[in-house]
Structure 1
Amino acid sequence: MDALALQTAASNATVLAVAGTFALFALFLSVTAHVAARNVLGDVEVKKAFAIGPAIAAVAVVSTTFGFNSFLALGIALALDFLLARFLYGQSDRLTAYVVFIHFVVSVIVGVVLFGLLVILSSAPV
């Protein structure tokens, strides 16, 4: 077997880890998208948010895999969030931009809180 093939071959554990990370991140982004849309638009269908989360998570996974610039990936993710929210909720550009801004803010706040809890729990004595 070629040494290069051994170094570049993805194991089943790696594929499972990437798939699990993608699924959890897509779920996280879907929930925060729904919270943002409900906050701005009122009563909205939850299934619309579950179309937004996986698309943005896919941008994150692809950009990380291929080593794209993080700011470029963030811009693409925000643009995709805007386009999907505009299409799914059918609101004006200004209101859609507000939904995307609230989605970004909610995602950052909830992400920081969850990461902080993870750090606190992982540093606890056994």
Structure 2
Amino acid sequence: MSVVTAQTATPTAVLGTTVLFALFLSLTAHLAARNVLDGADPRRALYVGPLPAVVGVVGGAFAIPTAVTVPVALAIDAAMFRWSYEIESRRVLAAVTAVHVVVTVLLGVVLGGITLLLATRPG
């Protein structure tokens, strides 16, 4: 007989995770915008991160398949870039969104690897 335990998260933990994820996505959004656009204002990146972060946290909390969550988050990410940086060209919008995905994945892998190394150190 197997026992299934339910994992409960406090509202503070969920809010903290969402805020940290939004800040991480805002940082990577600024890095992407700075590399694609000329003179990207870092304050505008703060508008890009929160909604995709909410989609990610809600998708994880409700076990929504990534085949649904990722395209929705990418569409919202592109919409937020278009609105925040006032991008008119679809080609530039696609480029900045693609660079944002690449920068987010690379920085996430590096930070995750550092965290794993620090968590498994002896002593």
Instruction: Find the aligned partners of 1:37 and 1:89 in 2 and give their Cα distance.
Output: 9
Stretches of structure 1 that go unaligned for 5 or more consecutive residues are 1-6
Q: Which amino acid aligns with 1:81?
A: D
Give aligned pairs, total: 117
| 2:79 aligned with 1:83 | yes
Give 1:90 shift. Answer: 2.1
Q: Partner residue of 2:67?
A: 71
1:47 to 15, 27, 43: 43
Q: Partner residue of 1:3?
A: none
Q: Partner residue of 1:60?
A: 56
Q: Which amino acid aligns with 1:110?
A: L
Deviations 1:16-59, CA, capped at 9 Å, x for gaps = 11111111100000000000000000211112110110111010
Query: Of Structure 1 and Structure 2, which has the larger fraction of its residues in helix?
Result: 1
Q: Partner residue of 2:114?
A: 117
Which entry has the higher C-alpha Rg, 1 or 2?
A: 1
Which contiguous aligned blocks of 4+ residues in structure 1 show a shift greater than 4 angstroms?
Answer: none
Give RMSD over aligned pairs: 1.6
1:37 to 33, 41, 63: 33
